[in-house]
């Protein structure tokens, strides 16, 4: 029988610690394993405990302190070891602060050997109720708060927390947030995810059952998702779903990225460029921090551009107009149909690959 694993993620150690304690005492026969990356010392610390107390503490020197190394060198081997031990009915894995659970879920979903012993039963994101809107929509960096996962980690707090909320089966606040904060998190979370204040109402049977379904979660977080979004239920939260079959104009987009990527809102989705018609480009932004990158080929799908922007208060009036202005016109498309050798996006997307 495979042992259920509850993954715990977050960008703030305090609510993560509080949620870990609740999970450890509420889940039947649970063992908890907490991993912490010390970037300065290049050390990964592992602490294993159950209801009787701390069972082991161990430090591993990493050749390169990062989440990928931590997963490969200690997190996965430890989860497998604890599952095969046979003493515990469930495992709570407290990921390093700032580590996104999608990486570990992907590894467990596709490793057939590990799948014989382990399965992710739930992904829980712990959030602070003190300043969730600031965490999600400000331009703070993880490194500014000392929660970066590698020396070169320059990810924004909002970018990372938003991705964790969107990936989660359950989002747990450490206290009762205000209505706007709760509404913002609910708007970002998967429609069937649970958003709650405090871990005391978490149902053990649900968490150790089959709450997490990898395919469903991947579809919701996919930059090229096409499904219609549910209606917003919270007052004070806005969302713009901007869509077109047209590509963005490369030059205008480079000159005006801040029009859609800047500002206190979450933005994510995909777009395409006439210079790279076979590639879907990912758009991932929060709080003025924006990442773009090559996502995947379109295959047989018709290319499209879709950005979903979410925020609190009143949406900036220029967003929809700016989106429309960045789109190609039919005349411009004809002029760029021969695909030039460069489009200015090489630093993010690599060189243009000619399609035969």
Cβ-based neighbour number of residue 195 at 10 Å: 21
CATH topology for the 237-349 domain = Hypothetical Protein Yjia; Chain: A;domain 2 (3.30.1220)
Given a cut of 80, is residue 332 above it in pLDDT? Answer: no
CB 121 within 8 A of CB 5: yes
Widest pairwise Cα distance in the chain: 71
pLDDT digits (tens, 9 = 90+) for 3-19: 999 999 999 999 999 99
Average of per-residue pLDDT values in the chain = 92
Given a cut of 80, is residue 221 above it in pLDDT? Answer: yes
CB 248 within 8 A of CB 327: yes
Which residues lie below 8 Å from residue 258, measured CB to CB, with a gap of 6+? 288
**All structural domains of the chain with their residue ranges:** 3-221, 237-349
Give the model's confidence band at 355: pLDDT under 50 very low, under 70 low, under 90 confident, else very high. low
Given a cut of 90, is residue 272 above it in pLDDT? Answer: yes
pLDDT at 334: 64
pLDDT digits (tens, 9 = 90+) for 122-139: 999 999 999 999 999 989
Which residues lie below 8 Å from residue 188, measured CB to CB, with a gap of 6+? 136, 162, 165, 166, 266, 310
CATH of domain 3-221: 3.40.50.300
pLDDT digits (tens, 9 = 90+) for 198-207: 777 788 889 9
For the chain, give the secondary structure using H, E and C.
CCEEEEEEECCCHHHHHHHHHHHHHHCCCEEEEEEEEECCCCEEEEEEEECCEEEEEEEEECCCCCHHHHHHHHHHHHHHHHHHHCCCCEEEEECCCCCCHHHHHHHHHHCCCHHHCEEEEEEEEEECCCCHHHHHHCCCEHHHHCCCCCCCCCCEHHHHHHHHHHHCCEEEECCCCCHHHHHHHHHHCCCCCEEEECHHHCCHHHHCCCCCCHHHHHHHHCCCCCCCCCCCCCCCEEEEEEEECCCECHHHHHHCHHHHHCCCCEEEEEEEECCEEEEEEEEEEECCEEEEEEEEECCCCCCCEEEEEEEECCCCCCHHHHHHHHECCHHHHHHCCCCCCCCCCHHHHCCCCCCC
Top-confidence residue, 42 or 354:
42
The model's pTM is 0.94
pLDDT digits (tens, 9 = 90+) for 135-160: 999 899 999 999 998 888 899 999 99
Give the model's confidence band at 29: pLDDT under 50 very low, under 70 low, under 90 confident, else very high. very high
Q: Rounded to 10 degrees, what is the CA torsion of 74, 75, 77, 80?
A: 160
Distance CA(63)–CA(30), nearest Å, equals 31
């Amino acid at each position: 029988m495979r042992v259920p694993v509850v993954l715990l993620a977050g960008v703030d150690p305090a609510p993560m610690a509080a949620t870990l304690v609740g999970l450890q005492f509420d889940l039947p026969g649970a063992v908890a394993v907490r991993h912490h990356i010390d970037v300065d010392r290049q050390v990964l610390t592992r602490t294993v405990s159950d209801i009787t107390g701390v069972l082991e503490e161990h430090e591993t020197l990493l050749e390169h302190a990062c989440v990928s190394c931590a997963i490969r060198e200690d997190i996965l081997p430890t989860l497998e070891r604890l599952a095969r031990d046979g003493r515990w009915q469930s495992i709570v894995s407290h990921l390093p602060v700032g580590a996104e659970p999608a990486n570990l879920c992907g590894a467990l979903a596709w490793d057939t050997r590990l799948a014989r012993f382990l399965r992710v039963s739930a992904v829980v994101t712990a959030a602070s109720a003190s300043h969730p809107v600031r965490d999600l929509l400000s331009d703070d960096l993880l490194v500014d708060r000392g929660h970066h996962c590698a020396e070169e980690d320059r990810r924004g707090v909002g970018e990372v927390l938003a991705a964790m909320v969107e990936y989660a089966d359950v989002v747990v606040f450490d206290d009762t947030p205000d209505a706007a904060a709760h509404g913002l998190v609910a708007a970002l979370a998967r429609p069937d995810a649970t958003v709650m204040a405090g871990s005391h109402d978490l149902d053990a049977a649900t968490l150790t059952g089959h709450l997490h379904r990898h395919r469903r979660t991947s579809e919701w977080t996919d930059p090229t998702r096409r499904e219609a979004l549910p209606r917003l239920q919270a007052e004070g939260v806005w969302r713009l779903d901007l869509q077109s079959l047209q590509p963005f104009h490369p030059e205008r987009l480079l000159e005006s990225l801040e029009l859609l990527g800047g500002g206190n809102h979450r933005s994510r989705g995909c777009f395409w460029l006439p210079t790279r018609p076979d590639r879907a480009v990912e758009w991932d932004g929060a709080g003025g921090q924006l990442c773009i990158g090559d996502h995947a080929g379109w295959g047989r799908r018709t290319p499209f551009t879709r950005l979903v922007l979410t925020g609190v208060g009143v949406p900036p009036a220029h967003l929809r107009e700016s989106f429309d202005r960045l789109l190609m016109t039919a005349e411009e498309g004809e002029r760029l149909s021969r695909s030039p050798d460069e489009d200015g996006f090489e630093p993010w997307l690599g060189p243009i690959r000619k399609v035969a």
